[in-house]
Amino acid sequence: MLQILLVTFPFFALVLAGFLAARRRLLPLEAIPGLNAFVLFFALPCMLYRFGSTTPIAQLLDLSVVGVYLLCALVMVALAIVLTKNARIRWNDAAFGALVAAFPNSGFMGVPLLVALLGQAAAGPVIVLILVDMVVTSSLCLALSRLDEGEGHGGQAMVVAARKALRGVATNPMPWAIGLGALASALQWQLPGPVEKTVWLLADAASPVALFTIGAVLARSQIQANHPMPVSDYLPVALMKLVLHPLLVLGAGSAAIALGVPLDRFALTVMVLTAALPSASNVSLLAERMGADNGRIARIILVSTAAAFLSFSAAVAWLT
């Protein structure tokens, strides 16, 4: 366990550093969008391209991983909405609560952390899971969040919202970086030397800046949405993310293997540890943009991130 903590500590320490820097105003809150833009549009796409281009294409097209993980994501979304939706928490807030219950911080935190723990082979499954969450889970929850609005009735409102969500995915550089990396892997093609070095330098910056930015985003969300709220509005969802989600993936993956599905045991370990990660920090920004209760979403992300230092390390010790 000590050896695992020695690996995980620097990752969570960078999150804490970003949180304290923003909280104490050493980092101006106005600078956080710039950091976020650097990570989202430059560093992280380069990191995902590098891992995608150096991962065997078969790992990036593993339908067993996609099927099992997608099933678990849909179950998590359904459970979170059923358990949290009430007179105060309507479709908009319930849908974003479901998104943070099902969407781990696999992009900003998961890829570098799991590669550090399990080696380069972990990158392939994590990249596949990022695509599932960005394309399907996020689009579904965004569509559900619009059911309170008058854009249409029932299915029509969901279709309109789903189209908007897919347009958002199309303008996000991360799926494109993964796709280009997969294409480069399939064709065994390399970037020209100087270009590759530039991309690799940006990729090296992704992990520390992304982790620092997570902390800064959480601090800003807490500062800007500091209103009283019952613990029952956010703690159960954080526990669902850290406990129920990985157990569900482990159970579904083990059942799939027992039924003869060609799911690799190592890939299943990566999937479970990805599910054990804290909630994705960028959901807070999305919730704010869509008019949801960002204070609640920020609390869920903050609690899950703080608790994950121990819960995630325990999951690693249990599975490896």
Identify the bridge partners of residue 104 per DSSP, sorted by sequence position: 279
Q: Are the C-beta atoms of residues 209 and 38 closer than 8 Å to each other?
A: yes
In one-letter notation, the amino acid at residue 62 is D
Secondary structure (3-state) at 18: helix
- By the 8 A CB rule, do 228 and 299 touch? no
pLDDT of residue 150: 52
Say what the pLDDT of residue 139 is: 85
Q: Name 156's Cβ contacts closer than 8 Å, sequence gap at least 6.
A: none
Class of domain 2-319: mainly alpha
Closest CA to 320 of 65, 1, 9: 1
**The token pair that represents 269 in the structure block:** 């370990």
Q: Is the dihedral of CA 207, 213, 219, 224 positive or negative?
A: negative
Nearest to 124 by CA among 173, 62, 199, 64: 62
Where do the structural domains in the chain lie, given as residue ranges? 2-319
This prediction has a pTM of 0.89
Q: Interior CA angle at 44 toward 300 and 271, to 5°?
A: 55
Query: If you average pLDDT over residues 138-166, what whole number do you get?
Result: 69
The mean pLDDT of the chain is: 89
Confidence of residue 151 (pLDDT cuts 50, 70, 90): very low
Residue type at 253 in one-letter notation: G
Examine the pLDDT at 270 and tell me if it is beyond 70: yes
Q: Residue 69 has which token pair?
A: 């993980």
Dump pLDDT digits (tens) for 154-203. Answer: 556 666 666 666 676 677 788 889 899 999 999 889 999 899 999 999 99
- Token pair in block for residue 87: 């007179």
- For 20-54, the pLDDT digits (tens) are 999 999 999 999 989 988 988 999 899 999 998 98
Cα–Cα distances in Å, from 193 out to 48, 127, 190, 203, 226? Answer: 18, 25, 8, 15, 49
- pLDDT tens profile 42-87: 998 999 999 989 888 888 889 999 999 999 999 999 999 999 988 8
Could you give the CA distance from residue 151 to residue 140 in angstroms, rounded to a whole number? 16
